[in-house]
Structure 1
Amino acid sequence: MHLVLDRQTSPLRRSLGEEPVLLDPKVPSVARMYDYFLGGKDNYAVDRDASEELSKAAPSTRALAINNRKFLQRAVRYVAEQEGIRQFLDHGSGLPTQDNVHQIAQRVDPDSSVVYIDNDPVVLAHGRALLADNDRTTVITADIRDTDGIMSDPAITELLDFSKPVAALFVSVLHCIPDGDDPAALVRRVMDRLAPGSMLVISHLVSEDDEVRNRLTDFMLTATQNNWGRVRTTAEVSPFFNDLELVDPGLVEISTWRPNLGDVTQQTLEWIEFGGVARKK
């Protein structure tokens, strides 16, 4: 869970130096709710209240958030170490926390370039502070659906060379995209613009139980004032990887994707994060 999509107040595209349009602090942000579940402090009372209510509806949500963060870290490390990727485009990055994408990638190679995209001004403010002394990493506020705008933004093209492989990250964000905006088409647009050898990393909230799926979707739509998408099924998420070469072990519940020795994962009962890593041929 990475961002709140606010069509009324969010800019389509804003570079690092521009002032963002403020979001309504009375409406929960998924980015800040995710921060709360991970034990962060960059959230408001409205986010904490919504998170606690969500925990009543789905008690394993905190464990789900922790598992998802660990998946992100493992996937980035794999892509950097094993695939040799040195460019990362993180859609719906959320608030900075421990072991962010740029920290993992730049431990492998200090010259790795990372662009974070989110549309919550709180993310921009904290990203600016965190990245002030890092000239290989930037953060922009943008609507992740605006692929053309993002890929032509000078703040991004100064860092990323799209003629070379890029890792496109959509970690716990595509369930924020409504069906009408076609999240699968969004992934295709991005991957079509990337060079062969590029990588795709996705995790997505899913449930095979109709009642659970509808109940949790309704809760998030109400909490965010309809600025959300929906919980989907594994069969609906799998086509996001069409025409790409899946990395073993394929598409799985993400706590089982190449776990580190000694990793302690908690089972999530109501919903899971489902996804994997794939390569563009």
Structure 2
Amino acid sequence: MAEPAHRTGVRKPVGVDTTRASIARVYDYSLGGKDNYDIDRAAYAAILEVAPRQGDVSIMNRRWLHRVTRHLAGAAGIDQFLDIGAGLPTVANTHEIAQQQNPDARVVYVDNDPVCNAHGRVLLEQNENTHFVPADLLEDKTLLRNSDVTRYLDMDRPIALILCGLLHHVDDELDPVGIMHKYVELLPPGSYLALSHFYDPGPADPQQHALAKELERRFTEKGLGSGWYRTNEQILEYFSGLELIEPGLVQLDEWWPAGPPLRPRYPEENAMVGGVAYKPADNSTDHAN
């Protein structure tokens, strides 16, 4: 049985332990990376049994991150990024995309896994505007009050907070909605929240719902210990107090794609959504639109 979620973190960081599957290493493997072990590949194999194109989901998630970052650093004019749950470095990371749009864009990466921190510091801190901080999303006072993080940010100006594929690894018992409300409250006006998340359409789509529940079972019980598929309504709660920008909370390749689809989406690709929301100057909205 996989180790359950811990109160002090999404899950106790695996670090260099090669007897337990690591979220970061499994994701690295799904993207074709080499920083993984047999235990990670075995956990991923359990997913592939029911979702043979799960690797396409990981690639789709990266494409979404790139488009979001490009929009925020470009048209939206954001020059500060906080990427929480950065994981292992891969091709075209957040700072590379942001600094293509604005060479002065500042990116702070955060992860709670020691291996990710070691790799991140070597491979991501490529210039004076990129920084990697070892810390945990679930800190009691939030990372927006952590001086190790905020010393690199101007908390009086807008920030882009990015959680790419992270919140679905936070158990309901850890109150991910409450966690995000704390972050939203502390974000400066004019900031953006961008997140992607495993998606369960519920009984409205029985076939896709069955796939989501089986994937959830395999993520949580067959090696990783986390990976919850949530409904549209549940995911929208993370954006409470913010204004979702077009096209809203959608399947990832529907978020301002680079062009028309070349093929129908695989069922696995329908099981992940993403959205970007804006914090207005007068933050009086009770719920995301």
TM-score range, shorter chain: 0.7 to 0.9
Name the residue aligned to 1:273: 272
**Structure 1 CA distance for aligned equivalents of residues 265 and 198 of structure 2:** 14
Task: Please give the per-residue CA displacement for 1:43-91, whole angstroms capped at 9, x wherever unaligned.
Answer: 1121112112211121221111111110000001001101111111111
Q: Partners in 2 of 1:55 and 1:86 — Cα distance?
A: 38
| Structure 1 residues 28-67: aligned runs within 5 Å | 28-67=21-60
Residue among 120, 124, 135 paired with 1:131: 124
Q: Which residue does the alignment assign to 1:101?
A: 94
Question: Unpaired runs of 5+ in structure 2?
Answer: 202-207, 281-289
For the structure 1 residues 135 and 72, does the alpha-carbon distance in structure 2 shift closer, same or farther, using more than 3 Å as the test?
A: same
Q: 1:221: which partner in 2?
A: 220
Query: One-letter code of the match for 2:244?
Result: L
Q: Distance in 2 between matches of 1:175 and 1:157?
A: 25
Task: Note if contact 2:43-2:223 (Cα within 8 Å) is conserved in structure 1.
Answer: no
Q: Which residue of 1 aligns with 2:181?
A: 188
1:157 Cα shift? 2.1
Distance 1:142 1:266, change over 3 A: farther
Task: Output the CA distance in 2 between the equivalents of 1:120 and 1:5.
Answer: 16
- Structure 1 residues 212 and 262 mapped into 2: Cα distance closer, same or farther (>3 Å)? closer
Aligned in 2, Cα 1:10/1:44: closer, same or farther, shift over 3 Å?
A: farther
* Counterparts of 1:225 and 1:262, CA distance in 2: 35
Q: Tell me how far 1:117 sits from its aligned partner.
A: 1.3
Of 269-278 and 26-35, the range deviating more from structure 2 = 269-278
Q: d(CA) in 2 for partners of 1:95 and 1:278? A: 26
In structure 2, C-alpha distance between the alignment counterparts of 1:140 and 1:260, rounded to whole Å: 32
Number of residue pairs matched?
270
In structure 1, how many angstroms separate the alpha carbons of the residues matched to 2:227 and 2:215?
A: 11
Identify if the C-alpha distance between structure 1 residues 27 and 7 changes in structure 2 by more than 3 Å, giving closer, same or farther.
same
- Range moving further from structure 2, 232-241 or 67-76: 232-241
Alignment of 1:12-91 (within 5 A): 22=15, 24-91=17-84
Please tell me whether the aligned partners of residues 93 and 116 of structure 1 are also in contact (alpha carbons under 8 angstroms): yes
5 Å matches for 1:194-233?
A: 194-208=187-201, 209-224=208-223, 226=225, 228-233=226-231
TM superposition shift of 1:150: 2.3
Q: Tell me the residue number matched to 1:259.
A: 257
- For residues 4 and 252 of structure 2, the distance between their equivalents in structure 1, rounded to whole angstroms, comes to 24
Deviations 1:92-130 (A, max 9, x none): 111111111011111222221111111222211111111
1:235 alignment partner, one of 233, 256, 261: 233
Q: C-alpha separation between the residues in 1 aligned to 2:173 and 2:99?
A: 37
2:138 aligned with 1:140: no
After TM superposition, the score normalised by the length of structure 1 is 0.87
| Residue 224 (structure 1) shift | 4.0
Question: So what's the TM-score if we normalise by structure 2?
Answer: 0.85
CA RMSD of aligned residues (A): 2.5
Letter in 1 for 2:214: R
User: 2: distance between equivalents of 1:147 and 1:81?
Assistant: 33
Q: Is the 8 A contact 1:10 1:21 kept in 2?
A: no
CA–CA distance in structure 1, aligned partners of residues 164 and 14 of structure 2: 24
- Structure 1: 5+ residue runs without aligned partners? 13-19
- Quick check: 2:195–2:274 contact (8 Å CA) kept in 1? yes
Which one of 151, 154, 159 corresponds to residue 166 of structure 1?
A: 159
SS at match of 2:257: coil
Asked whether the equivalents of residues 61 and 268 of structure 1 are also in contact (C-alpha less than 8 Å), the reply is no
Aligned to 1:16: none
